C-alpha cells in the first residue's frame, strides 16, 4: 500500500491555490495544512471548503507531526527563515523558486486542459448544427469543414481541407468576404466543384488589423424552399381555422327570451321546446319579422347539440351562382380564383345545427343536393370527388307558402316533406296584439341599457296607437319603432307624438285621425315616410313608394330633399 505524503503549503494566493488544487487531486498526497496571513486568500477559501486545516502563523504549520514536505509559495525571506527555524529535521522544504517552477507547469497543464475542453465543446457545437460551416486561414487555406458541409455539398472533409478557398470557390461568400474584409449576408452562389446552390453568410476574422482568416455559414436553397413551404402550409392552417371560427357561432337566444301569451304562439313555443330535445328537422313558417330566427336559436340552445356549432345561411342573401359553394365548399383549383380549399356551411356545422333561413328562395338544383344531404348526410365539395359525411341537425325557415310552391313546381315536394317533420307556424303580430305591451316593456329595458336612458313606459294614447296599428313588419317592425322613439325621447315616458312619424295613426270611419289633426304638409311627410318604411330606401323601394303614392319618382326625390 502506497504511503501518504503529508504536505503543508505556505501561501494561499494565486500560486499557492493552484498548487493546492493540483496536489488535492493526487491520491497519495495529503494536504495537512494551508497557511496564509490573510484568511480571505483564495487558497484559504478552498481549504475551508474541503475541511483542510488552515492557519495564519508559519510556526503552527511547522509544528505538525509527520510532515514530509513544506511548499513555500510566497518568496518572502522572513517566511523562509521562520520555516527553517521551526520545521522538524525530517521535513523537506520546497522554496519559492521550485514552487514557481511547479506553478508554471501546473498553469500550463491547466491551460492545456482548458483548451482541450473548449475545443471539445466547440467541436460538439459545430458538428451538431444543421448549417454548413467552412473556415479558411488568412492565405485562403481551408482548415475546417463541419459534417453538415459534407452532407450539403457531397464533398468529403478530406477532399476539401487543404484546398485554397480562392481557387475552390472564388465567387463564394467566404472568398468575397476575405477579399473585401467586409461581412457578406444572404449571398446566393454555387459551392465550387458542385452544383449545389446555397445562401451564405460570411465574415472575415481580423485580429489587430491583420486578416487571420474567415468563416462561412450556409444553407442549400432546397432547405429554404422546404421551410417556406412549411411556413405557407402553417399559414394555410391558421387561415382555415380563422375562417372556420369567423363562420361558426353559438346560439344567442333561449326560450326565456321569447315572449307571447296568445294560444297560437304558446302552441308553437311548446312544440319548439319538445322538438329541441330530438334531432328531427324543424320547419318554421311565418311572416317576416315574426321571430323565426329567434326560435331557431332557442331550439339549438335547448338541444343536445347546444355546445356545438350553430351555422346560419340566409338563402335569399346569397347569389344563386354562389349558393352551392357556400353550402358545400370547394376544392383548390375548382374554378378561377379558387386559390385554396374552402369548407362549406354544411361541413362547418358538423355535429351541430345549420339554420336555413328563407329556404323558399333556394333554386331547384340546390334543393336536390340539400335533399341528398338530409337523406344520406353526405356530399362532395365543388370540384371535388371525395365524399364527405356530416352529422347535422337542420332547422329551416320561410315566409313563403311552400305548399303552394310545391303545387307550382318551384319547390321540390320530396324536400318539403323531408323538411316538414316538425312544423312551427308563428302567428303575425296583428294576430296577438295583446302581447304588444309586454314586448314594449322588454324593449324599453333593452334600449335603456343601450342608450343610457331611464324611460319608464308609454302613455295611454301611445299604447293605443301601437295596439291599433296592423304591424306589417311584425315584431321586427315594433322593435325598430321603439328603438327610434327611444333615440328621440328626452322625457321619461314615450308619448304618441314620438311614434306618429313611424306608424300610421288609426282612422275613424269618417276619415278623421283619432289622436289629433295635422297639416296637409305634415300628413304628406308621414305618408312618404310610411311608404319608404314599407318598401325600403333602395331605388326599387322608392319606385314602389312613388307608385303607391301616385307621384313620379322625381317628385318623390324632390319632396325628400324638402323634408330632410
For position 245, what pLDDT does the model report? 54
What's the CATH code, domain 442-563?
A: 1.10.8.60
Q: Where are the domains of the chain?
A: 5-107, 129-223, 255-427, 442-563
The DSSP result for 506-545, as a single string, is PB-TTS-BSS----HHHHHHHHHHHHHHHH-SSHHHHHHH
Identify whether the C-beta of residue 422 lies closer than 8 Å to the C-beta of residue 275: yes
DSSP state, residue 314: E
Identify whether the C-beta of residue 430 lies closer than 8 Å to the C-beta of residue 479: no
Total Cβ atoms within 10 A of residue 429: 27
- Model pTM score: 0.50
255-427 placed in CATH 3.40.50.150 = no
What's the CATH code, domain 129-223?
A: 3.30.450.20
d(CA 445, CA 464): 20
Identify whether the C-beta of residue 295 lies closer than 8 Å to the C-beta of residue 426: yes
Topology match between the domains 129-223 and 442-563? no
Question: CATH for 5-107, among 3.20.20.140, 3.10.450.50, 3.40.50.720, 3.40.50.300?
Answer: 3.40.50.720
Report long-range pairs for 323-326 (Cβ below 8 Å, ≥24 apart): 323/362, 323/363, 323/366, 324/365, 324/366, 324/369, 324/382, 325/382
For position 96, what pLDDT does the model report? 59
pLDDT by 10s per residue, the chain, length 564: 567 889 999 998 888 888 888 888 888 889 999 999 988 899 999 999 999 999 999 999 999 998 988 988 888 889 889 988 988 888 888 875 665 666 565 556 656 666 666 666 666 666 666 788 888 998 989 988 888 888 888 888 888 899 998 988 888 888 898 998 899 888 888 887 777 888 888 899 888 878 888 998 888 877 656 666 666 666 666 666 555 554 555 667 788 888 887 788 888 889 999 999 988 999 999 888 888 999 999 999 899 988 888 988 888 777 777 778 888 888 887 777 677 778 888 888 888 999 999 898 888 888 888 888 888 888 888 888 888 898 999 999 999 899 999 999 999 999 999 999 999 999 888 888 888 888 888 899 888 888 888 888 888 888 888 888 888 888 888 999 999 888 888 888 988 888 877 776 554 434 444 445 667 777 788 788 888 877 777 777 888 888 878 788 878 887 887 776
Total Cβ atoms within 10 A of residue 185: 11
Closest CA to 73 of 142, 10, 24, 151: 10
Amino acid at each position: 500500500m502506497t504511503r501518504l505524503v503529508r504536505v503543508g503549503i505556505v501561501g494561499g494566493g494565486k500560486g499557492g491555490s493552484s498548487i493546492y488544487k493540483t496536489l488535492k487531486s493526487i491520491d497519495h498526497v495529503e494536504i495537512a495544512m494551508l497557511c496564509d496571513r490573510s484568511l480571505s486568500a483564495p487558497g484559504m477559501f478552498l481549504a475551508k471548503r474541503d475541511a483542510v486545516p488552515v492557519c495564519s502563523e508559519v510556526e503552527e504549520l511547522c509544528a505538525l507531526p509527520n510532515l514530509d514536505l513544506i511548499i513555500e509559495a510566497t518568496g518572502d525571506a522572513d517566511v523562509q527563515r521562520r520555516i527553517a527555524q521551526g520545521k522538524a529535521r525530517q521535513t523537506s522544504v520546497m522554496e519559492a523558486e521550485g514552487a514557481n517552477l511547479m506553478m508554471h507547469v501546473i498553469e500550463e497543464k491547466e491551460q492545456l486542459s482548458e483548451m482541450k475542453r473548449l475545443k471539445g465543446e466547440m467541436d460538439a457545437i459545430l458538428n451538431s448544427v444543421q448549417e454548413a460551416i467552412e473556415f479558411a486561414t488568412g492565405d485562403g487555406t481551408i482548415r475546417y469543414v463541419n459534417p453538415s458541409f459534407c452532407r450539403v455539398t457531397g464533398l468529403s472533409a478530406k477532399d476539401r481541407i487543404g484546398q485554397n478557398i480562392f481557387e475552390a470557390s472564388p465567387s463564394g461568400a467566404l472568398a468575397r468576404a476575405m477579399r473585401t474584409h467586409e461581412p457578406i449576408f444572404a449571398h446566393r452562389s454555387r459551392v465550387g466543384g458542385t452544383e449545389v446552390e446555397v445562401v451564405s453568410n460570411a465574415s472575415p476574422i481580423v485580429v489587430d488589423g491583420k486578416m487571420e482568416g474567415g468563416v462561412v455559414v450556409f444553407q442549400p436553397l432546397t432547405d429554404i424552399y422546404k421551410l417556406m413551404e412549411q411556413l405557407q402550409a402553417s399559414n394555410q392552417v391558421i387561415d382555415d381555422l380563422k375562417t372556420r371560427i369567423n363562420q361558426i357561432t353559438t346560439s344567442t337566444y333561449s326560450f326565456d327570451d321569447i315572449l307571447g301569451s296568445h294560444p297560437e304562439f304558446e302552441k308553437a313555443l311548446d312544440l319548439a321546446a319538445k322538438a329541441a330535445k330530438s334531432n328531427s328537422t324543424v320547419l318554421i313558417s311565418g311572416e317576416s319579422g315574426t321571430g323565426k330566427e329567434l326560435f331557431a336559436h332557442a331550439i339549438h340552445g335547448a338541444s343536445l347539440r347546444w355546445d356545438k356549432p350553430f351555422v346560419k345561411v340566409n338563402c335569399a342573401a346569397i347569389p344563386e351562382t354562389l349558393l352551392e359553394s357556400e353550402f358545400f365548399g370547394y376544392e383548390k383549383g375548382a374554378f378561377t380564383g379558387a386559390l385554396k380549399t374552402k369548407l362549406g356551411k354544411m361541413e362547418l356545422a358538423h355535429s351541430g345545427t345549420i339554420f336555413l333561413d328563407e329556404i323558399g328562395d333556394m333554386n331547384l338544383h340546390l334543393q336536390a343536393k340539400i335533399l341528398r344531404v338530409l337523406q344520406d348526410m353526405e356530399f362532395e365539395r365543388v370540384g371535388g370527388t371525395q365524399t364527405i359525411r356530416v352529422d347535422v341537425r337542420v332547422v329551416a325557415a320561410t315566409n313563403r307558402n311552400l305548399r303552394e310552391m310545391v303545387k307550382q313546381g318551384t319547390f321540390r315536394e320530396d324536400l318539403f316533406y323531408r323538411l316538414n317533420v316538425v312544423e312551427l307556424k308563428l302567428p303575425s303580430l296583428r294576430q296577438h296584439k295583446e302581447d304588444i305591451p309586454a314586448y314594449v316593456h322588454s324593449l324599453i329595458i333593452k334600449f335603456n341599457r343601450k342608450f343610457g336612458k331611464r324611460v319608464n313606459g308609454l302613455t295611454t294614447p301611445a299604447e293605443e296607437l301601437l295596439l291599433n296599428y296592423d304591424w306589417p313588419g311584425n315584431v321586427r317592425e315594433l322593435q325598430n319603432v321603439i328603438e327610434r322613439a327611444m333615440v328621440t325621447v328626452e322625457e321619461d315616458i314615450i308619448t304618441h307624438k314620438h311614434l306618429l312619424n313611424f306608424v300610421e295613426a288609426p282612422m275613424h270611419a269618417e276619415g278623421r285621425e283619432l289622436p289629433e289633426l295635422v297639416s296637409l304638409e305634415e300628413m304628406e311627410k308621414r305618408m312618404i315616410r310610411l311608404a319608404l318604411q314599407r318598401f325600403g330606401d333602395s331605388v326599387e323601394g322608392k319606385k314602389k313608394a312613388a307608385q303607391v303614392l301616385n307621384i313620379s319618382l322625381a317628385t318623390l326625390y324632390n319632396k325628400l330633399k324638402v323634408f330632410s
